[in-house]
């Protein structure tokens, strides 16, 4: 999974996270998540290949949404979740907690600079006379939403960050994280 696809996945999980209250993240939930993702990853990658995902963040976001919403229609995928201790509700609750903690740990202090970099890009777009005003408005709204969501993505509680640390190497493999 390329970096663009990873960020698409993260944005979808962050949308789920806005509906989930903060709760404990025990190590057994993280371990279940890791093992479930290892089993689910080939299905996701196959789905992405079948529909011709190009790795672009916007197409990947739609891809993840479609795939995630279709999980409950596939008994074999739900069996994988159940094998690792999840039902649909608990999977939806745990996934954003793990993802948020993972992103907070992986991006750390450098990640906190990304919203400022996005704001700088927005300034460049605003001052570009070659971009029509209607398009600037659309881009501005999109970047503003991205900044807000990204800022939310890096505030995982320290307890959640500590819970995922023993699994960082495995999570890196799952998300094909490259330093």
- Specify the pLDDT at position 54: 62
The backbone region for 79, taken as left when phi is positive above 0, alpha when psi lies in -120 to 50, beta otherwise, is alpha
Residue-by-residue pLDDT tens, the chain, 179 positions: 444 555 555 555 555 444 444 578 999 999 999 999 899 888 877 877 877 766 554 455 556 556 666 676 778 888 999 999 998 888 888 888 888 888 888 887 666 677 777 888 888 888 999 989 989 898 888 888 877 777 766 778 999 999 999 999 999 888 776 55
For residue 128, is it within any domain?
no
Residue 42 sits in which domain range? 3-112+154-174
Rounded (10°) CA dihedral 106, 86, 4, 42: 120
- Specify the pLDDT at position 65: 56
- How many domains does the chain fold into? 1
- Specify the pLDDT at position 26: 93
- Specify the pLDDT at position 103: 82
CA proximity to 122, closest of 152, 150, 162? 150
Q: How far apart are CA 12 and CA 62, in angstroms?
A: 9
For residue 67, is it within any domain?
yes
For residue 53, is it within any domain?
yes
Q: Please provide the size of the chain in residues.
A: 179
For residue 106, is it within any domain?
yes
Q: How far apart are CA 80 and CA 36, in angstroms?
A: 6
- Specify the pLDDT at position 53: 67
For residue 37, is it within any domain?
yes
- Specify the pLDDT at position 66: 66
For residue 36, is it within any domain?
yes
């Amino acid at each position: 999974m390329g970096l663009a696809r990873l960020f698409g996945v993260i944005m979808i999980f962050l949308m789920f996270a806005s509906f989930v209250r903060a709760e404990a993240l025990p190590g057994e939930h993280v371990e279940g998540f890791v093992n479930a993702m290892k089993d689910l990853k080939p299905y996701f990658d196959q789905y992405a290949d079948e529909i011709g995902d190009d790795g672009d963040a916007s197409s990947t976001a739609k891809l993840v949404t479609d795939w995630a919403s279709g999980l409950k229609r596939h008994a074999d995928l739900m069996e994988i979740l159940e094998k690792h201790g999840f039902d649909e509700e608990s999977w939806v609750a745990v996934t954003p907690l793990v993802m948020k903690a993972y992103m907070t740990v992986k991006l750390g202090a450098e990640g906190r600079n990304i919203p400022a970099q996005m704001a700088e890009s927005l300034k460049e777009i605003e001052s570009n006379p070659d971009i029509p005003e209607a398009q600037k408005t659309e881009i501005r709204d999109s970047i503003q939403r991205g900044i807000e969501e990204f800022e939310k993505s890096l505030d995982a509680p320290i307890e959640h960050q500590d819970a995922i640390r023993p699994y960082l190497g495995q999570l890196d493999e799952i998300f094909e994280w490259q330093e």
